[in-house]
Amino acid sequence: MEADDVDFIKNDSNYVLLKGVWNALTRDIDWNISQIINLPPELYGDTSFSIDPQIAFDPSGQKGWIAIDGDFINDGIAVYQPVFLSTTDGGATWSSPTFIDLTQYSTVMDALDPQGTGIPTTGFDADLAVDINGNAHFVSVIGSGSSHSIESGLELHVFDITNASGNWNAEDLARVYGFRGATGSDYSEDNRCQAAITPDGKRVVFIWLDTDTLLVDPYDVNLYTNSSPNVWACGFDAVMGTYSIAKNLTADSDFDAKAFNASLAPVTLRNTSDDATILPIVLLELNDDGTFASPADFFYMQGALIDDSEFTVGINTVTAPSINVSQNLPNPVNGQTIFNVTLPKASQVGVRVIDVVGQDVFALKTSNYSSGQHAIKMDCSKLTAGVYFYEVSAGNEKVTKKMIVE
């Protein structure tokens, strides 16, 4: 079994490419220098970098990409943008760099918060995967930036920077409400954007952390922290050219609002019925002191998957719902229950309740609501015990949540 990694020496003029082979006797990887890649002058020297270089290959091991994220334009603006190098011969030779100017993509510019600088920059963690077609997928948070920082108090989005359509595009996967969260006084983590492929490379999955908006008001700019993280995910079907809509994997689980240090394996699994992609994710449970300073337990996350039927959204049209719907409280319920709906703009809101076989049970009167957060009450006293779903529609968007009636 082989594994590839790349090491980078800042302010040097090359990358050292290491190739490792698994040693069954030592149960470790034996690493050796495979290649030294000489870089063009614009990729070293005084350039400021926001992440370590990322390297990934397709399942054949022949088509690969290196992604670098840095400030390569000497214009005084000081923001980070990605650069790519590619290989089609297993890394024997590498292309000249492809620089991505984020300002040229309407999906990026339209997502920037109007209160910011209007100049896009990537965040400080990112990941790279290569699909079966040899196309790159670079996942990172993007927002307005300046002075080598991202304006985390404003609206941010997570993007897939990819050439999957034949041209480079920035696919808006979802809005994120929290950027950096602190645990204790000395430890923090950002959104931990990560990517992985299925063993055949036909699907790419992305995960990131985003704060629980039940605990943090997403419209209070003073509370834009990622201190109560959930794991969000979506995927890309490289054969069909379609995405799945972003969804919260840890909602209503033991790790709801405390999915710290989420780590995704670089290769996913398939379920036994071969109709869903299983995301191998490990989460950290904080110890009693509530920080990362002492030893902690790690848990494999059960039930993290994306069904094949979810890949329905075409390239350049993928967006997560901009409306936010909270879990109803109390849940289980045997009478009155309440949930919050947060709207980015004034909308006509409808609510219907559905049973487990998809039949309508009842609906609330459709009403007009202004932008912001609104509490909606439902009377469930006439429902028989069981599992139900409440669907909230606003404009062309719908969000569905599960509830239990006692």
Residues 24 and 79 in one domain: no
CA distance 134 to 74: 31
Q: How far apart are CA 157 and CA 143, in angstroms?
A: 7
pLDDT of residue 91: 84
- DSSP conformational letter for 267: B
Q: Do 309 and 330 share a structural domain?
A: no
Q: Based on the domain organization, do 144 and 160 belong to the same domain?
A: yes
Q: Which residue has the higher pLDDT, 121 or 18?
A: 121
> What's the CA gap between 7 and 89, in Å, rounded?
20
Q: How many domains does the chain have?
A: 3
Confidence of residue 221 (pLDDT cuts 50, 70, 90): very low
Last residue of a domain, one of 261, 281, 314: 314
Q: What is the pLDDT of residues 166-218, one digit of tens each?
A: 889 999 999 888 888 766 556 778 899 999 999 999 999 999 998 876 655 54
Q: Rounded distance, CA 66 to CA 9, Å?
A: 15
pLDDT digits (tens, 9 = 90+) for 50-92: 667 899 999 999 999 999 888 876 566 788 889 899 999 988 8
pLDDT score for 258: 85
Q: Note the pTM of the prediction, 2 decimals.
A: 0.73
Max mean pLDDT among 38-47, 249-258, 266-275, 364-373 falls in: 266-275
In this structure, are 356 and 221 located in the same domain?
no
362-383 tens-digit pLDDT? 999 888 888 778 899 999 999 9
Determine how many CB atoms are found less than 10 A away from the CB of residue 135. Answer: 21
- Same-domain status, 121 and 17: no
Q: What's the whole-number average pLDDT of the chain?
A: 83
Considering the domain boundaries, does residue 319 fall inside one?
Answer: no
Confidence band for 268, pLDDT divided at 50, 70 and 90 = very high
Residue 100 falls inside a structural domain: yes
Strand 324-325 relative to strand 336-343, pairing: antiparallel
- The per-residue pLDDT for 118 is 87
Q: Give dist(CA 95, CA 380) in Å, integer.
A: 62
Identify whether residues 199 and 116 lie together within a single domain.
Answer: yes
Same domain, residue pair 345 and 271: no
pLDDT at 288: 67
User: Confidence class of residue 5 from pLDDT cuts 50, 70 and 90?
Assistant: very low
- What is the per-residue pLDDT for 215? 59
Residue at which a domain ends, from 265, 290, 314: 314
Q: Greatest CA separation found in the chain?
A: 72
pLDDT at 386 over 80: yes
The percent helix, strand, coil of the chain (3-state, each to 5) is: 5, 50, 45
Are 143 and 266 contained in the same domain?
yes
pLDDT at site 4: 44
Residues 192 and 308 both lie in one domain: yes
Whether 278 and 329 map to the same domain: the answer is no
Helix (H, G, I), strand (E, B) or coil at 317: coil
Query: CA–CA distance from 356 to each of 148, 337, 365, 382, 386 (Å)?
Result: 50, 19, 22, 17, 9
Question: Which CATH number is 374's domain given?
Answer: 2.60.40.2550
> What pLDDT was estimated at residue 222?
45
Which domain-ending residue is among 279, 314, 349?
314
**Which residue segment(s) compose the domain that 231 sits in?**
45-314
Residue 367 resides in a domain: yes
Distance CA 359, CA 374 (A): 26
Do 71 and 7 sit in the same domain of this protein?
Answer: no
Phi, psi of 221 (to 5 degrees): -65, -15
Indicate the DSSP class of residue 310: G
Q: Judge contact between 70 and 53, C-beta under 8 A.
A: no
Asked whether 333 and 406 are in contact (CB, 8 A), the reply is yes
Structure tokens at 94: 């590498």
Do 142 and 108 contact (CB within 8 A), yes or no?
yes
Same domain for 56 and 19, yes or no, is: no
Handedness of CA 212, 216, 219, 220 (dihedral sign): negative
